Amino acid sequence: MSLEKVVLVKEDKGFKARDLIVYAVILLLAAVLFTTVFLTRDTNPLKGVKISVDGEAVFTYDFENDEYFKTAENIEIKEINGALFVTVRAHGGYNVFKILKSEREVCVTDSDCRAKTCTYMGVNDNNSVIHCATHHVKAEPLDYDADGGNIPFG
């Protein structure tokens, strides 16, 4: 590097006005995205939950009226200590959903798939979804709005 270039670099102010404008726009965009994603969530208590297999509803539970509807034969329901245990058999396997009535929460307590990632998921507000890709089973709030998107199975 020549001596002239070294002198020019030393005399440079660093940030130029257009650099600061670009950084300000990026920060503003990040703030808008944060607000949109995290502050507009529907965190109202669950009104109910729907369990579906291959996109077809097979079980629904209404927390408000303490009623459930079973629409398929591959569903077993047991009530133990105020909680409903719903076993869904699909695609050669099963998932056991635990519905806690008083807490208005749903979780998977057991599954026979290898990954068992669904056992780490839960539905406790209107933005949560449980899905098991192996068995094509999904549990979502009755009021769930997927923004037009679908969780692909496969």
Looking at the structure, tell me whether residues 32 and 104 fall in a common domain. no
32, part of any domain: yes
**Cβ neighbour number for residue 135 with a 10 Å cutoff:** 22
Looking at the structure, tell me whether residues 14 and 84 fall in a common domain. no
Q: What is d(CA 154, CA 149) in angstroms, rounded to the nearest whole number? A: 16
Look up the domain containing 92 and give its range: 48-141
Looking at the structure, tell me whether residues 8 and 56 fall in a common domain. no
pTM of the model: 0.70
Two tokens, residue 114: 């290898």
Backbone φ and ψ of 105, nearest 5°: -130, 155
Looking at the structure, tell me whether residues 70 and 104 fall in a common domain. yes
CATH of the domain at 57: 2.60.320.10
Per residue in 54-68, pLDDT (tens digit) is: 989 999 999 989 999
Looking at the structure, tell me whether residues 65 and 32 fall in a common domain. no
For residue 123, which of 36, 49, 21 has the smallest C-alpha distance? 49
- Reported as half-sphere exposure (CB side, CA atoms, 13 A), residue 132 has a value of 32
Per residue in 123-142, pLDDT (tens digit) is: 888 878 999 999 999 999 98
**Structural domains of the chain, count:** 2
Looking at the structure, tell me whether residues 34 and 85 fall in a common domain. no
43, part of any domain: no
Looking at the structure, tell me whether residues 65 and 13 fall in a common domain. no
Looking at the structure, tell me whether residues 11 and 75 fall in a common domain. no
151, part of any domain: no
Looking at the structure, tell me whether residues 74 and 11 fall in a common domain. no
Which residue has better confidence, 146 or 43?
Answer: 43
152, part of any domain: no
